[in-house]
Structure formats: C-alpha cells, structure tokens
Amino acid sequence: MAESFGSFVAEVAEVSIEDGRPRVHKVWCAIDCGVVVNPAIVRAQMESGIVYELTAALYGEINIENGRVVQGNFDGYQMLRMDEAPEVEVLLTPSGDDPGGVGEPGTPPIVPAVTNAIFALTSERIRKLPIRLG
C-alpha cells in the first residue's frame, strides 16, 4: 500500500516461480483517488504503472564496463514483454474526496506485493532489485 499525490493504492500479486524466476500472473489494484473523473484513464494509469515497475523489479539493471554503460539503447535493455505482462484488475473505491493523482501512485506498491508473494512461496526475502532468486 502506498500514498502519493493525494491517492491511496494497494496491490496484491499472484506469483509463481518458473525456471528459477518469478512470474507475475495477476495483480489486484485498489485505488482511492478521490472523485474519479474518467475511470478508463485511472485504470490505464494503474496498469501502466504496474507494468513499468515490474520491468524495473524483474529486469532493471544497468551494467558498467570500462567506465561505460553497456546498454546503449532499448535493444540492450530487457523490458517486460506483452506475453509476460500480468492480468491487472483495478478497483476504483468510491470517494467524495477531492481528486488525487493517478500518474505515479500505481507504481510503488507492486515491488512489495511481488516480493511478499515470493517470500510466501520460498521463505526468501528479496533485499535488492532486480529480483534474483537463490
């Protein structure tokens, strides 16, 4: 759960371990962002924030060799692919509060949701990103 930009977001992740790596199958996301003006945009922002941060959690690594960054462009930087993207279910909680932000608030809760699910599966605490098991 996280609070940012006047919104509250909670997320739960369904995770399995496949070939020694975490696989996120589904994410449930609840957001209280005050009065919702456009529900489709709120859902899209939550989905994109989750996918964005899953890329960082699972793959986000920049390597330096001889004082230079190895990944020169996106062809050398692994990102979450469409076939890896989880199903995302977003619940908009009814609220009469003033509207809050929906751009970034979906991003912070996904790493704790995934790493707590990994802990439930393996009893291993993840202490740094990108997530590496074992």
Q: Has residue 36 got a pLDDT over 90?
A: yes
For position 73, what pLDDT does the model report? Answer: 85
For position 74, what pLDDT does the model report? Answer: 80
Query: 39-43, 71-75, 102-106, 110-114: which range is least confident on average?
Result: 71-75
Please state, in angstroms and rounded to a whole number, the distance separating the CA atoms of residues 70 and 67. 9
| Rounded (10°) angle between helices 39-58 and 110-122 | 50
Angstrom distances, CA of residue 65 to CA of 24, 87, 132: 31, 37, 21
Domain extents in the chain: 2-122
If one looks up domain 2-122 in CATH, what number appears?
A: 3.30.365.10
Please state, in angstroms and rounded to a whole number, the distance separating the CA atoms of residues 95 and 10. 15
For position 72, what pLDDT does the model report? Answer: 85
What residues contact 53, with CB distance under 8 A and at least 6 apart? 107, 108, 110, 111
Query: 28-32, 44-48, 68-72, 122-126: which range is least confident on average?
Result: 68-72
Q: Has residue 134 got a pLDDT over 90?
A: no
pLDDT in tens, 71-106: 888 888 889 999 999 999 999 999 999 999 999 999
Place of tokens 């098991």: 133
Strands 64-65 and 7-18, bridge-based pairing: unpaired
